[in-house]
Chains A and B, each alone.
Chain A
Amino acid sequence: MQEHLPQHGENGVTTAARNDGFVVFDRVQKSYDGVSLVVKDLNLSIGKGEFLTMLGPSGSGKTTCLMMLAGFETATNGEIRLDGRNINLVPPHKRGIGMVFQNYALFPHMTVGENLAFPLEVRGMGKDEREAKIKRALDMVQMGAFANRRPAQLSGGQQQRIALARALVFDPALVLMDEPLGALDKQLREHMQFEIKHLHESLGITVVYVTHDQGEALTMSDRVAVFNDGKIQQLAPPADLYERPDNSFVAQFIGENNKLPGTIEELSGDKALVRLATGELIDATPVNVTSKGQQTLVSIRPERVEFKPEMMPPGAHMIDATVLEVIYMGDILRVRLRVAGADDFVMKMRNTLGQTKLTPGQNIKIGWHPADARALDLN
């Protein structure tokens, strides 16, 4: 985010290669009170047909970004472009963006059919065409038989489908979703994740999806933008985000994560040797550390921790650990360990036939592939 983005040319055409996206946030800033910034210098380019998720804790600025894109908030500075056109001053009803709201926002005084007809009526569409489109949209979400029901007569999941159908019925090229699955139970949520993903694929629409649920973000997205403190912390495909977090915020926010603070002992190319506070040496991949002697936080996923020497690559360091607790979770066993003086190191073991049994109090040695331990900034 540090590189300088070029200004507009004479005729409003930008010259930057990154700015050819379908949706572009160009140096966007947002302040509500004139004192602090909620969104700090946001630069983001979303390709046509992409499924992009804005992920972050509440107050991170992700919803504000979505609202600016939808037109309900104005950018304090910078430019938002949709299909090459600056939409800063375009009112929301002229943007032609479909939107699914957190609590569905289905109009309670209208039937499902009337709800879906609404965007078509305000576009002056004829009755026959309208009915054909409504039927198609309802069939798309498997709710064809519900056109005459009122929203209050539907379950949460059904309302969710109708809200989805309503956002899609007028064929928008871009659909925004503001935590649409937040109010559903876990099972339904997972089911709807797949349905939304399939709709996205079959319709070829661009989706900008806001959530604070990292599982949802990883499952559905082409790319995920992790927000914190008004800034994008990392913008990457889900696998990269999980396996190669850029900084300690992303590492902590996405998935479960063990943190080991230490000092860089040796740094050579893509390998680093880190000395922990208690004196042990561990292997790591340097991510945003630059010099020897620097303080660092090494991040390791619990499922990448090994305790059998034969599974370790040759020459890898192993350190002492004490088993504190073994929690049976069905598919996995969660082992809490004391490592380098801290009591919260977690290792996940697959619950396979003949898996080694660990008992509390037992002393073991653990290690990991250097690529799985990432030496990050100390945040």
Chain B
Amino acid sequence: MSDATSQLTTADGRPLKAALATAQARARRKAFFLVAPLLLFVLITFILPIGQMLTRSLYHDGFSAVTPNLGQWFAANPEGTEPDEAAFAALAADLAKMKADKTAGEAGTRMNYTVPGTRSLFTSTARGADKLQPPFKEALLAEDKKWGDPIIWASMRAASSPWTTDFYLIATDRQRTADGGIEKVPENERIYLWLFGKTFVLSGLITFICLLLAFPIAHLLATLPMAKANLLMILVLLPFWTSLLVRTTSWIVLLQGQGVVNNILVSLGIVGDDGRLAMIYNQTGTIIVMTHILLPFMVLPLYSVMRTIKPTYARAARSLGATSWTTFRRIYLPLTLPGIGAGALLVFILAVGYYITPALVGGADGQLISNLIQFHMSKSNWSLAAALSGMLLAGVLVLYWLYDRLIGIDKLKLG
């Protein structure tokens, strides 16, 4: 069968497949040139930065570039080897070169990421490195006892290669042990995983509140007569046309201690003047404001799905004997599932990466992982910021995959 089809030829004897390819090549070329600008744009503004970010999360040559001798020793001696005189000699040589090139700070900073407090070890030792005399082991230990610490050596080994998973270890609250193993950092130093967890839980909560609020609105929009629905739609879209900053600050006006809501509550006697509610600059503020800002992203996909659900489905279910609750549960809700999925996915992904709102109204306990990423970027620890972003990206991709498995990405409708 397949033989017969592959041997089909055109009237003048050319293979049919080749003839078809030639005939379509022109159209395909034309199509490619049409999409080329967009392709280029996406490549330059999206794929390349993400690629660079992911590379940075795994690549840092701040230490390895200035320690060629140590690098050779680490390469020649397997992991777990006690640092011998040769190792200390290599270290001394590298430190001397750091002094000459003024690169001790860079190397120290890189080491400082994995073993906090080691930057000064490098800068101070490098200052007198050109005067060190053999035996180097004793000389260096005399400079600073810390040079004998196996943790330092394990970390230097890890940093001696520019390609490193160190930043992912930090981002998952882990560190290297002296014998090259990996352990969790002490409990009081664990922040990242906890913050990831909090970010995901808060985003989930915000998504859920958005769904609860958006479902009736979208239903109303989908069932109202066109003129009224359009008016309501403008109200839903109004936040979109207002600056994010304006929206966030107006929430501050409403929710702060001396704000509109508290003043009303006090004047109604619901709360006392000394018991004004703390609704802003904390987690509550983050939840309220982010829910408001992300609500349209839930309403629109829900609306676009609900608009296509014909009212006869509900009528059919009712005529078949279903109560209104059963009709909602078994017919209407399953039919809106693609909209719920699309809206939830959209709101959740946006919430997980949200930065401005928690920064403005989150106070101390309303900060999310993106605020920490921003913090590390401002401290020029690009690799850790990239590793955290990479994990966030991975989390979002997992969600996307889950959505595809459960609902199907082809059902994604965004208005």
Contacts and interface: CB of A to CB of B under 8 A. Distances in A.
Interface of A: 70-72, 91-99, 101-103, 105-109, 118-119, 122-123, 166-167, 170, 176
Interface stretch (B298-306, B327-335, B362-370): B327-335
Interface in B316-332: 316-324, 326, 330-331
Contact of B320 (A91, A109, A166): A166
A96 B313 contact: no
B405 interface: no
A108 B320 CA distance: 16
B322 A105 contact: no
B326 A71 contact: no
Contact of A96 (B317, B321, B323, B326): B321
B172 to A, nearest CB: 40
A108 B330 CA distance: 12
A130 B316 CA distance: 19
A103 B315 CA distance: 12
Interface of A is mostly: loop
A102 B320 contact: no
**Nearest 6 interchain pairs by C-beta:** A119-B320, A105-B316, A105-B312, A99-B319, A92-B318, A122-B322
A93 B322 CA distance: 6
B315 A107 contact: no
Given A109-B334, A109-B335, A93 B318 contact: yes
B310 interface: yes
Contacts of B317: 107, 118
B321 A107 contact: no
B321 A105 contact: no
A105 B318 contact: no
A102 B311 CA distance: 12
Interface in B369-402: none
Measured as residues with beta carbon below 8 angstroms from the partner, the interface class of chain B is 10 to 19
Contacts of B315: 70, 72, 92, 99, 101, 105
A107 B331 contact: yes
A92 B319 contact: yes
A166 B320 CA distance: 8
A64 to B, nearest CB: 14
Nearest to B338: A109
B319 A118 contact: no
Q: Which residue among A93, A94, A96, A106 has the maximum number of chain B CB atoms within 10 Å of its CB?
A: A93
A109 B312 CA distance: 14
Given A93-B321, A105-B310, A108-B335, A122 B326 contact: yes
A101 B312 contact: yes
Given A109-B334, A109-B335, A122 B316 contact: no
A170 B320 contact: yes
Interface string B246-286: 00000000000000000000000000000000000000000
Interface in B17-60: none
Given A101-B312, A108-B335, A71 B320 contact: no
Contact of A118 (B310, B322, B324): B322
Contacts of A103: 310, 312
Given A118-B330, A123-B321, A107 B316 contact: yes
Nearest to A95: B319
Q: Which residue among B312, B318, B320 has the maximum number of chain A CB atoms within 10 Å of its CB?
A: B320
Interface string B335-361: 101000000000000000000000000
21 contacts: A70-B315, A71-B319, A92-B315, A92-B318, A93-B322, A94-B321, A96-B321, A98-B319, A99-B320, A101-B316, A103-B310, A105-B310, A107-B335, A109-B334, A109-B337, A118-B322, A119-B320, A119-B321, A122-B321, A122-B326, A167-B320
